[in-house]
Structure formats: C-alpha cells, structure tokens
Structure 1
Amino acid sequence: MNSSSGIKGKKSTWDVPASDMARNTFNPIRDIVDSMRIQPNPEKELIALSIGDPTVFGNLKPSENIVDAVVHAVKTGTANGYGPSVGYVEAREAVARAYSDANAPVEAKDVILTSGCSGAIELVISVLANPGQNCLIPRPGFSIYETIALSLGVGVRRYNLLPDKDWEADVSHMESLIDDNTAFIIVNDPSNPCGSVYSKEHLQDILAVAERNKLPIMSDEIYADFVFPGEKYYNLASLTTEVPILACGGLTKRYLCPGWRTGWIIVHDRNNVFDKEVRDGLLRLSQRILGPNTLVQAAMKNILEETPQHFFDKTIEVVKNNAHHCYNRIKDIPGLTPVMPRGAMYMMIGIDIDRFPDFKDDLDFTRQLISEQSVLCLPGQCFKYPNFFRVVLTLPQNRTEDACDRIAEYCKQHYITENGKVSD
C-alpha cells in the first residue's frame, strides 16, 4: 500500500515552482548584455564603455579620508553589530545636514538609510504602489525602475525624453499617461543614461504636473551635484511646497564607492501627506532586512563632512574632459549623433541606422562593434530607446581616445551614403 495515498497535500514527485515575484523579475540590461557574448577582436584589447562603475578602471578612487574613516570604524570594533533598520541616528543626522536646503529642510527623522540607492528605489516603489497600479518612468531611463516595479506587479508607463532638447522630459506626454491607477512619477536628474541636467524652469514644469494630478514623486538623485562646471543642480524638493517627494541617493557615484552599498531615502513632505501611512510603511519595509552596512554608517559623518572639494572637482574634471573629447570626436563621424551631457557620467549617441545597412538595429550595431573593434557599449534597447547607444565617461582619457578612434574606423567601414556609396 502506498504510504502517501489518502493523505491530502502529499506529492509523488518534486514540483518547486518559483514565486510570481521571481518570474516577474527581469533586468533588460543583464538580458541584453548576456545575449551579446561575442568574442572581442583578439588583436585589440577590450575597452568597456558599458560599466556604470567609476572605480573599475583604476583612475578614480575614493578620497583618502573616506578610506581612513572606514578603516577606523573597522579597527575600533564599535560598528560590527546590527544597527537599527533605518540606520544609526548619527549617520542619518549627517545625511540630513548634508542634504538639507533652506527651502527644503531635512532632519534625521526624514532619513532612512538603505543598502545602496537601488535599495532605496525598491523601498520607495514598494511603499507607494500596489499590484495593479502603475508608475511613470523616463524613456530612456535606468532599467532598475522597470525591473523592480514589474517584479512587484506594478505597471510602468514611459514618458519620453527629448534628445533635441537636451533630454528634457516631454511634459505633455508625461501628463497624458496618467490615469486613476497611477501611483507616482519617477524623475531622474542628473540622468542615467543621458547625462542631462534639468533647468529650474523645467523641474517646475514637472512639479506642476505632479501637483495638478496629486501624485508624489520619486526623485532619483544618485548623481546630485555631479554636474559639469557652469551647470547648476537643483534639489527638486527645494522648488515646491506642495508636492511630496521621496528622494533616493547614496555614496555610490559622487564618493566613488559603489560596492559599499550605502544609500538613503530622504522624505520631503511639507504638508504631512506621508504622515498617515507612508512614513510608517517605509519603517516597516526597512525591517525586512537588518539595515545597511554599519561600518560605512559609522564613517558617514567623516565622509559627508570632511571630504575635500578638490576630490569632487578632480572627478568631475575627468568626466567632463572625456565628455568633450568624445562629443567632438563622435559628432564628426558620419551616421552618429552624440548628445552632449552636462553631468553624471554617460553620453547617449544616436545611430542613423539606415546609413548602416549591415546592421538591423542598435543591438546588432553594438554587438558587431565588440567583434570587430573590441569596444563594448550598451545598446539603446537597454534603456527602451532604440537606435542609440550609451558610453561611459569615467575611463582614463587615453582609453577614451582609443575607443573613439575605433568607433570612427568601424563606422567608416560600414557607413553608406545616400547615394549608396561606401564612406570615404
């Protein structure tokens, strides 16, 4: 007699399905990059213009005081245990002081520390939307917004950014996407992948859409203050007294330590809109894990208050010089149209795909670029923006120059003029 017969719930074979969340989790960048596994040209060293990690090339490193502060935290042994789920008070106070604005004051109670900025983004999406609702995200935009939202059953609606207007948001298009199920709007300034920096007036136009429709904003500010000389970064919350904002930031880019996984959410809420449920919801969600890296938290005050300005200036100088060189070189290549960035660490480059009949789209273009020239770029499809590709601007300048030369050679070999002739 079968011992399992007649016993409810018993199974005769293993059947362990993945959860709906796991099945719904999809990172388009990872999927596309994995599909591009092509052998580089063995005669040319690979130049990876695809990686949004400013540390991997070795030319940009954290400031000495930042490293010393973390080493001190390790040696004293005072930050080895679990911290509060929202972070140490002292660390939250340091973030509040660093990011408080006369027009948008911040206190420690308004700060929640997270495991990286992506952790902050996940908490915000989780607290603001239920399955079946939707949020508005930029196109082109950082893929993690969609990855997290869809995994939670939250739909995404993409509002267009306009390359001929320095990647400003199409505000009319944004507003046309809003319906009764829209929970919030995501704004990313300065932008990944575009490198755009929005003017005060444009940010006010976006805020007006949110205010008219009574929608909160998730402001992705991981590149806050990461702007080129002559440009100005505006704290979005400082421009409104009406729109509640959850701002996501972190140490990753500005302080050149992405692997330390330290981010934050700053709650900007002049009219106590978030007091009823959202603040408590963020606290509850933060308790799903036992808080972010305590060693970095112990060093936070030093990191935010003692890092010298020349450290930031040096980083910006490297990125700006690469941006100008890359733009000036690429704009003269037939078939390519770069959009000059004004901040962050990326540039988007348009492809006149009709002039490159050897390739059907940007994915094909970038895949073959690896094979022939050993230059790795991310196709625009990673950001839901076809017939563009993104380059990273944090390399040593000689590597950037070499990459631009190879891209020029590649395009010369494949470009066809309107008369059907191969480029000279």
Structure 2
Amino acid sequence: MITRSTRLNQVAYDIRGKIYEQSQALVQQGHQVLSLHIGDPAPFHFPVPDHIVERMAAHLRDGQGYGDAIGLDEARAAIRAEYSARGIKGIRMEDVYTGNGVSELAMISLQALLNDGDEVLVPTPDYPLWSSAVHLYGGKCVYYRCDASSDWYPDVEDMERHITSRTKGIVLINPNNPTGAVYPAEVLQQIVKLAEKYNLIIFSDEIYDKILYDGAKHTSIAALNTKALCLTFSGLTKNYRIPGFRAGWMVISGNVSAARDYIGGINLLANLRVCSNLPAQYGIKAALEGYQHINDLIAPDGRLQQQRDLCYQKISQIPGLHCVKPMGAFYLFASIDLPKFNLNNDYEFVYTLLTEEKVLIVQGTGFNYYRDDHFRVVFLPEAAYLETALDRIASFLERKRVSKAISVK
C-alpha cells in the first residue's frame, strides 16, 4: 500500500474538502447547487478590466521563455512604486518578488524559514493556506484569538501570551478572510511593537486591500514598521478579479539587513521554481497604474457593496444567526445558535444544508476557528442568486427550529 506523507496529517483545505466533493456529486446527479463557498469572482460575471488582459495578450510571445526568478522588472517596479506610495520606506527592486499567486509566495516564505518545531502565530479563524503551510514545513501553528465581540480584531494580549522562544513570526490577514474585518492602525501599531520586542517576522496577507466598504481605510502594517522584518503579500486575484492568472507579489521591508541568510533561502526557492507565470506579470503594471474599476464595485451603489448589504441584512434577520457587518473582502462570518436548531456542530449544519437545500457554504472550523458554531458565506453572486440561497438557509433553519413553547395545563 502506498501512503501519503505524514506531513499532510494536519494539512486541510475544507473550502474544497469533503462537503465540496459531496456538492459535486449532487451536481453530477442533476441537482443545481447554489455555491456560496469560494471567493472566485469569475463564475459570477465580474468584469475583468480589459486593459489588463489586452496588455498581457500583447506580450504573450514575450513570455514564451523563462523570466527572472524574482520577477519581471516592469512588474516589480510598478509594485515598488505602489507600496512606496503607501508609506513603506526603503523598498529596493530586489525586495519585490512575483509569484504564482500569494499562495506560492506564502509557502516559499515559510519553507525558507521553518525548522521542525518552530512556531508561527496564526489567527483563529484563519485562511487555511497559512496554517497548512506552517504544518507542511514542520512548524507548529499557535493560534491567537480574533472574536466577534471586538469586531474580529486581533487580541494582541492573547497574541503575546502565546510567544515562546520558538516563535518565529506573526501572520496577519487584513482585510480578513473569513471575517471581513479591516484592522485599525492602532491595533497594527501594537502588533508592530510586539514584533519588534520579540524579533518576530510579520507576514501580512493583504490580498483584499482595495475591497473596502463604508469608508473603511486599509493600512499596510509595513508602513508603520521599520525595525521588524515584514513581508507584505497581494496580487491580481481579488482586487482585479483575475484569480486564474495566478499573479501575486511579495514585498520585503523593515530590518532587511538582519535577514540576509533568510532572504537567501527565499531566493534559492524562487530559483528552484525557475520563475512565476511570465505572461501574467505583464498585466501587473497595467493593473496598478490603470483605472481602478474596484472603486465602482465598492461604492455605495456598487455591486459588491449592494450584495454585502443584502447578505448582512438577510442573515441578521434570521433568528439564531448573528454576525458582524464585514468592512472588507467579500465574506460574512456568522454564528449559529446550534441548540436552537437541534444541531450538534457547524459541520452537521453545513452538510445537512447542502443535502436538504442544495446550498454550499463552509463551516467555521474549516478556518481553524476554535468554536464549532460559525460558518462563512461568500456574497459574490448576483443579488437574485444570493437572495435565493439565503432564503433557502432561512427555510432550512425554520424547519430545524426547536420549539420553546411550554404547554400550560
């Protein structure tokens, strides 16, 4: 019998896990499944900016061969200018890397760092790429709390309580997936002080940094930091609605001089993969310097904002569900009063909802949340689709509701 590596024992991606596989089986049987489970804009008819695609198409032949391991010069220069304008100081061209999405760069950055048993502080809930990558490379995830009672902001005191001599870094996801929280500068400043105090690397996943609602302001934590090493990640996937191009980037800033050996490890791994998708890199300059269509989508009358409002309103109206209004990204992370519906945990809720109502969402424990009474909804679908799916959730819960009526004799 051929078995898989034991390094995969703690690696999971429930967004495409067993419940997703069951949804695909239902589709094969002829059922229509309403999918609110993954942050992919393409199936829901979001326009891809023409000038980005045209720029990439015009340079397809220029992308036939291998490119530089850390990226195309014009792409990296545009990224450098973008982040310098955000207030991140001292960025050099060699501090900017392109990759096949943030996923690849996140994995490279952790692989180059971790020895067996090293610890990384990861939020709970988290986006499971980060926890899985830590486990995959022999590290240990130590979870710090983010709770609805504080608008899903990181609990910095809890973060500090978990720091040991083996702690190597802190993962931030801001704006956050799955909660939609956007962290205020005051919280980020506290985290910077913590990183400086304990000589920790900050890994800041900012892939949703332009998807903001109700006047929310995004601050790159690297702009507040000079003494700690900071790795900032983003790309074309979400802001520009082009996940299939696999065009991401990473900017290294802060105390670069103290991290030469670590950065050398990143360069080694970048060279081993030879280069990232070269044709897609030609779209980066056009994206960052061109018209920002995302601003139309997040305006008060924009499609994303309207769908966010619809989703929040309908979820909030269902007795037994509670949520914080998301201020960024395109997810809503809600709690469910399980006993009210005679349900044991979030997995049972999500699985039964799929089998009975043909609506696919993701259980909160799929994001390593420490409680089993939450779920994530994606509000990318058009309003009519979204409304139908949310009405099915309401109908399902109404059927499951346990009566609190007491008969009087």
Aligned partner (choices 372, 389, 395) of residue 381 of structure 2: 395
1:220 corresponding residue in structure 2:
205
Q: For residues 368-387 of structure 1, what are the structure 2 equivalents within 5 Å?
A: 368-385=352-369, 386-387=372-373
Q: Is 1:31 matched up with 2:14?
A: no
Q: How does 1:208-357 map to 2 (within 5 A)?
A: 208-270=193-255, 272-274=257-259, 276-306=260-290, 308-314=291-297, 317-357=302-342
Whole-angstrom CA distance in 1 between matches of 2:347 and 2:356: 14
> Which residue of the partner structure matches residue 54 of structure 1?
41
Deviation of the 1:92 alpha carbon: 0.9
Unaligned stretches of 5+ residues in structure 2: none
CA RMSD in angstroms comes to 2.2
TM-score after normalising by structure 2: 0.92
CA distance in 2, matches of 1:228, 1:420: 44
2:179 corresponds to which of 169, 191, 194: 194
> Within 5 Å, which residues of 2 pair with 1:357-372?
357=342, 359-372=343-356
Residue in structure 2 matched with residue 45 of structure 1 by the alignment:
32
Q: Which residue number corresponds to residue 157 of structure 2?
A: 172
Paired position in structure 1 for 2:397: 411
Distance apart, 1:19 and its partner CA = 4.4
Measure the CA separation in 2 of the matches of 1:406 and 1:20: 40
Letter in 2 for 1:393: F
Call closer, same or farther: CA 1:335–1:27 in 2, change over 3 Å.
same
Instruction: After TM superposition, give the deviation of residue 193 of structure 1 in Å.
Output: 0.5
Q: Residue 355 of structure 2 aligns to which amino acid in structure 1?
A: S
CA distance in structure 2 between the partners assigned to 1:311 and 1:95 by the alignment: 18
Q: Is residue 156 of structure 1 aligned with residue 144 of structure 2?
A: no
TM-score, length of structure 1 as denominator length: 0.89
Contact 2:37 2:377 in 1 (8 A): yes
CA 88–309 in structure 1, closer or farther in 2 if over 3 Å, else same: closer
The answer to which of 36-45 and 228-237 deviates more is: 36-45
Matched, 1:142 2:127: yes
Query: Are 1:71 and 2:57 counterparts?
Result: yes
Amino acid at match of 2:152: W
The one-letter code sitting in structure 1 at the alignment partner of 2:108 is L
Q: Which residue of 1 aligns with 2:76?
A: 92
- Please tell me whether Structure 1 or Structure 2 has the larger radius of gyration of its CA atoms: 1
Deviation at 1:268, TM superposition (A): 0.8
Please tell me whether the aligned partners of residues 41 and 374 of structure 1 are also in contact (alpha carbons under 8 angstroms): no
Contact 2:71 2:275 in 1 (8 A): yes
Q: Segments of 4+ in structure 1 off by > 6 A?
A: 40-44
2:107 maps to which residue?
Answer: 122
Q: 1:257-277, CA deviations, whole angstroms, 9 ceiling, x for partnerless residues? A: 111111111001246222x31
1:213 Cα shift? 1.6
**Contact 1:41–1:373, Cα closer than 8 Å, also in 2:** no
Q: Tell me, what secondary structure is at the counterpart of 1:128? A: coil
In structure 1, the residue corresponding to 2:43 is in which secondary structure?
coil
| Identity across the alignment (%) | 30
The code of the aligned residue for 2:337 comes to D
1:112 aligns with: 97
Once the two structures are superposed, residues 11-40 of structure 1 have per-residue CA deviations (whole angstroms, 9 ceiling, x without a partner) of xxxx86644545664434433435655747
Alpha-carbon offset, residue 189 of structure 1: 0.3
What amino acid is aligned across from residue 292 of structure 1 in structure 2? S
Contact 1:215–1:243 (8 Å) recurs in 2: yes
Local SS of the residue matching 2:197: helix
Higher percent of residues as helix: 2
Structure 1: segments with no counterpart, 5+ residues: 1-14
Question: Deviation of residue 131 (structure 1)?
Answer: 1.6
Cα shift at 1:289: 0.7
Q: Deviations over 1:238-296 (max 9, x none)?
A: 1122222011111110111111111111001246222x312222111111111111111
Give, as a single letter, the amino acid of the residue that structure 2 aligns with 1:94.
A
